[in-house]
């Protein structure tokens, strides 16, 4: 029974106490283990399974470019309407994540946690294998969809012009800005991945919130940005050298640093610091069997 000394509300029935325990948010360690387990499962997948899923994700990410272009071409000019058109950026992320396709920046958190938990050469090799296959598959998909959107008679002239303007806006950044904005983008995606397991019922709204803020901030993302910038290349406005050296290389480095070496390291360090406290073994309140019955 609760007493005034332990600070708990007195006179709660067993059923009411069960409701309290059930409605407790998961501890950070629980979220860490959920994401680590998901990452370990991804690391075990075959190269063929990763490749086809990553290629599908790259094609699907073309929805972001398509949606933004269609909205920009049909809304009046003006900053207020650009804010509305930015919602189109969410389309590709929603489709890819809800369909559980392989997206590179998502893997910068999920797949890296198993390596941090057990830093062996074998795990590091598995991580590099996954990153390589997923990144190449994503880029092949985005480049293909950009080529098709430009060369097939799908969109009107005004929409084609809107696609070009989106790519031009990204290339206003120099390599340093691409890198810095890529760090923020990688961190935001990692934050989204960390939030989703604790609020699975609000998954769609979490994806929309994070990716919409990415669009408003013009933060660079290696996968969706490759569709936007390669559209310029295929249109003859940008050389491949600038695509790789000004956009892709710095953005990729920024995404990895923001998602892995900042967010994942800090999150992992937090969990390891909690678990290393002497004489303290926290129990998940939703699993009372873990609690010492002698207390």
C-alpha span between 272 and 118 (Å, rounded):
12
pLDDT tens column, 224-236:
999 999 999 999 9
Token digits of residue 123: 């795990």
Share of the chain above pLDDT 90, in %: 65
Nearest to 253 by CA among 174, 185, 156: 185
**Is residue 126 scored above 60 in pLDDT?**
yes
**Centroid of chain to Cα 249:** 18
Can you give the residue ranges of every domain in the chain? 34-273
**Is residue 24 scored above 70 in pLDDT?**
no
Q: State the pLDDT at residue 263.
A: 74
pLDDT tens column, 267-293:
667 776 666 555 444 444 444 444 343
Residues in contact with 268: Cβ distance below 8 Å, sequence separation at least 6, in sequence order: 32, 113, 116, 117
Nearest to 3 by CA among 11, 20, 17, 24: 11
Please tell me the class of the 34-273 domain.
mainly alpha
Q: State the pLDDT at residue 188.
A: 95
Q: Which residue has the higher pLDDT, 179 or 109?
A: 179
Q: Mean pLDDT, to the nearest integer, of 249-264?
A: 89
pTM across the whole model:
0.84
Q: State the pLDDT at residue 275.
A: 60
Cα 206–211–212 angle (5° rounding)? 100
Query: 285 in helix, strand or coil?
Result: coil
- Range name among 48-52, 113-117, 166-170, 172-176 with the lowest pLDDT average: 113-117
User: Are the beta carbons of 238 and 79 closer than 8 angstroms?
Assistant: no
**Is residue 21 scored above 90 in pLDDT?**
no
Q: Which residue has the higher pLDDT, 77 or 134?
A: 134
User: Are the beta carbons of 107 and 42 closer than 8 angstroms?
Assistant: yes
Q: State the pLDDT at residue 16.
A: 64
Nearest to 31 by CA among 258, 261, 200: 200
- Range name among 103-117, 130-144, 149-163 with the lowest pLDDT average: 103-117
């Amino acid at each position: 029974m609760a007493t005034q000394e332990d600070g708990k509300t007195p006179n709660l029935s067993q059923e009411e106490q069960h409701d309290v325990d059930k409605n407790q948010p998961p501890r950070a360690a629980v979220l860490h283990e959920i994401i680590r387990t998901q990452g370990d499962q991804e690391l075990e997948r075959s190269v063929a399974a990763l490749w086809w899923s990553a290629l599908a994700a790259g094609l699907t990410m073309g929805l972001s470019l398509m949606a933004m272009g269609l909205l920009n071409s049909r809304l009046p000019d003006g900053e207020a309407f650009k804010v509305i058109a930015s919602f189109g950026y969410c389309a590709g992320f929603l489709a890819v994540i809800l369909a559980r396709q392989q997206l590179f920046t998502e893997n910068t958190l999920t797949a890296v946690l198993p390596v941090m938990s057990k830093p062996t050469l074998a795990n590091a090799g598995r991580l590099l294998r996954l990153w390589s296959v997923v990144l190449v598959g994503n880029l092949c998909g985005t480049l293909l969809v950009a080529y098709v959107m430009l060369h097939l008679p799908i969109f009107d002239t005004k929409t084609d012009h809107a696609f070009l303007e989106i790519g031009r806006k990204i290339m206003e950044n120099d390599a340093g800005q691409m890198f810095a904005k890529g760090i923020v983008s990688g961190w935001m995606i990692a934050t989204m991945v960390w939030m989703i397991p604790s609020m699975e019922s609000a998954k769609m709204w979490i994806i929309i919130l994070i990716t919409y803020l990415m669009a408003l901030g013009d933060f660079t993302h290696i996968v969706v940005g490759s569709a936007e910038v390669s559209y310029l290349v295929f249109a003859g406005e940008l050389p491949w050298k600038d695509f790789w050296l000004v956009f892709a290389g710095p953005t990729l480095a920024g995404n990895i640093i923001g998602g892995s070496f900042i967010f994942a390291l800090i999150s992992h360090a937090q969990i390891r610091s909690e678990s290393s406290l002497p004489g303290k073994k926290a129990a998940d309140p939703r699993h009372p069997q873990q609690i010492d019955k002698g207390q």
